[in-house]
Amino acid sequence: MIGGLLFASGQVPLDPATGEVVGTTIEEQTRQVLKNIEGILTAAGSDFDRVVKTTCFMKDMNDFAAFNEVYATAFKDHLPSRSAVEVARLPKDVLIEIEVIASVN
Burial group, residue 104, by CB count within 10 angstroms (0-12, 13-18, 19+): middle
What does the pLDDT look like over 36-88, one tens digit per residue? 999 999 999 999 999 999 999 999 999 999 999 999 999 988 899 999 999 99
Q: Is the pTM of the predicted complex or chain greater than 0.85?
A: yes
For residue 59, report the phi and psi dihedrals to the nearest 5 degrees.
Answer: -70, -35
Per domain, the residue ranges of the chain are: 5-103
Three-class SS of 41-95: HHHCCCCHHHEEEEEEEECCHHHHHHHHHHHHHHHCCCCCEEEEEECCCCHHHCC
Among residues 64, 57, 53, 55, the alpha carbon closest in space to that of 86 is found at: 57
CA 61, distance to chain mean position in Å, is 16
What does the pLDDT look like over 65-75, one tens digit per residue? 999 999 999 99
Cα end-to-end span (Å), the chain: 11
CATH code: domain 5-103 is 3.30.1330.40
